[in-house]
């Protein structure tokens, strides 16, 4: 599936066309992340985080090719990071860390990353990693790049959660429409209907995160 998405330019949706991307913005990313929530792929990590860090820093890449899968993390001083999405499965880790009062970015090939597998409550890969930062000088970046990186990660999570909420709503509506009790659909019962209404309202409210975040932070497309 990842190869198919790569061929369509969706794994680097916000990246430049010269690099196999589509030069898309946050609106397109929102719909893609919402849809991708059902298939559980590292689209946000590869595109909005790792790909963005590579583009902003201009650091050398350890891997290449349109089907390459990356994740990203902020490392501690000893080169460790916890709960990194998909670390066990990717081709490379794009990391940012602080050394000598300067933030630095570098890409590490998977073979150079020590991974301890772990998972979150949803059984999704959230691994602990360690790399030897002493062997990498890294490319210096301003502190505001790190701040923006963290904000992008938070926004990507919010969008993915909105997509998950949409899937939950679809399942609930399907169940309450098909399941019958006492001769009528469960969804017709007064005790069930308010819950469905609330779920229907939450999804569009969740997607308001996109324009609100852009307005608060003064940011436009993810490529900016």
**What would the pLDDT profile of 26-72 be if each residue is shown by its tens digit?**
778 877 887 776 667 888 899 999 999 999 999 998 887 767 899 99
User: Distance between CA 73 and CA 49 in Å, rounded?
Assistant: 9
Site of tokens 């790569």: 6
Q: Is the pLDDT at 158 greater than 90, yes or no?
A: no
Q: What is the pLDDT confidence band of residue 97, given thresholds at 50, 70 and 90?
A: very high
**Mean pLDDT score, 108-112:** 95
**Alpha carbon distances (Å) from 178 to 118, 196, 198:** 38, 14, 20
Query: CA 100, 223, 36: angle at the middle one, nearest 5?
Result: 105
For residue 105, give the DSSP letter: E
Contact in structure between 66 and 80 (CB atoms under 8 Å): no
Percent composition of the chain: helix, strand, coil (DSSP 3-state, to 5): 45, 20, 35
User: Distance between CA 152 and CA 126 in Å, rounded?
Assistant: 18
User: Distance between CA 217 and CA 214 in Å, rounded?
Assistant: 5
Report the predicted TM-score, pTM, of the whole model to 2 decimal places: 0.77
């Amino acid at each position: 599936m990842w190869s198919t998405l790569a061929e369509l330019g969706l794994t680097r949706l916000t990246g430049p066309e010269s690099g196999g991307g589509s030069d898309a913005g946050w609106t397109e990313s929102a719909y893609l992340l919402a849809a991708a929530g059902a298939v559980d792929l590292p689209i946000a990590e590869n595109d909005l985080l790792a790909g963005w860090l590579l583009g902003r820093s201009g650091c050398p890449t350890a891997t290449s090719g349109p089907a390459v899968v990356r994740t990203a993390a902020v490392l501690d001083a000893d080169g460790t990071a916890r709960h990194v999405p998909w670390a066990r499965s990717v081709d490379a880790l794009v990391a940012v860390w602080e050394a000598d009062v300067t933030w630095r970015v570098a890409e590490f090939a998977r073979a150079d990353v020590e991974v301890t597998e772990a998972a979150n409550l949803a059984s999704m890969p959230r691994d602990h990693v360690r790399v030897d930062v002493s062997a990498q000088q890294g490319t210096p970046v301003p502190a505001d790049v790190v701040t923006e990186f963290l904000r992008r990660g938070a926004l990507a999570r919010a969008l993915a959660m909105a997509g998950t909420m949409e899937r939950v709503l679809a399942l609930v509506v399907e169940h309450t429409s098909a399941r019958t009790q006492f001769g009528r659909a469960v969804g017709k019962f007064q005790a069930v209907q308010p819950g469905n209404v609330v779920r229907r309202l939450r999804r569009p409210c969740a997607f308001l995160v996109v324009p609100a975040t852009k307005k608060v932070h003064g940011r436009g497309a993810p490529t900016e």
